[in-house]
């Protein structure tokens, strides 16, 4: 990932917590970063938690799963160690008024945010 990431770019990995049925959830994103982060040539800019109903998790598209889905995903926001990622907006509107407008509406929204920077 480091090899293909531009110096001013960021990479975001979404990792869901995991748990055995009846077990305690393992914060997998944090564990991954703790285990291998220092070997990647990347820096952790942020770890964003996202709580959502388990029936809305992407893993549910496969139907029944062996493990137990948790109600939390985490996004690891990464950049190159020597990188200079450009700052994004301080406030993000998560209401997504464009979400039903299709991909063109989403692209227009991204361009509007970029223009405001």
Which CATH number does the domain housing residue 35 bear? 3.30.200
31-37: average pLDDT: 93
CA distances 70 to 5, 55, 77, 94, 104, Å, are 30, 10, 21, 22, 32
One domain for residues 76 and 98: no
Predicted confidence at residue 61, as pLDDT, reads: 60
Classified as helix, coil or strand, 87 is: coil
| Other C-beta atoms lying within 10 Å of the C-beta of residue 4 | 7
3-12: average pLDDT: 91
Q: Burial, 76: exposed, middle or buried (Cβ in 10 Å; 0-12, 13-18, 19+)? A: buried
- Given a contact cutoff of 8 angstroms between Cβ atoms, the answer to whether 11 and 89 are in contact is no
Q: Burial, 23: exposed, middle or buried (Cβ in 10 Å; 0-12, 13-18, 19+)? A: exposed
One domain for residues 19 and 58: yes
Contacts of residue 58, Cβ cutoff 8 Å, sequence gap at least 6: 16
- Domain total in the chain: 2
One domain for residues 76 and 91: no
One domain for residues 62 and 21: yes
pLDDT digits (tens, 9 = 90+) for 80-113: 999 888 776 666 665 666 556 665 676 777 788 7
For 105, the domain range is 87-117
One domain for residues 96 and 61: no
Instruction: Using the CB atoms, write b or e for 88-100: b if 16+ within 10 Å.
Output: eeeeeeeeeebee
């Amino acid at each position: 990932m480091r090899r293909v990431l531009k110096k001013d770019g960021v990479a975001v990995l979404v990792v869901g917590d995991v748990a055995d049925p009846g077990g305690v959830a393992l914060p997998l994103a944090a564990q991954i970063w703790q285990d291998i982060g220092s070997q990647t040539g990347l820096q952790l800019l942020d770890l964003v938690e996202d709580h959502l109903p388990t029936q809305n998790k992407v893993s549910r598209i496969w139907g029944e799963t062996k493990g137990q889905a948790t109600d939390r995903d985490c996004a690891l926001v990464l950049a190159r160690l020597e990188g200079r990622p450009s700052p994004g907006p301080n406030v993000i509107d998560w209401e997504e008024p464009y979400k039903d407008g299709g991909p063109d509406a989403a692209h227009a929204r991204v361009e509007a945010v970029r223009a405001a920077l």
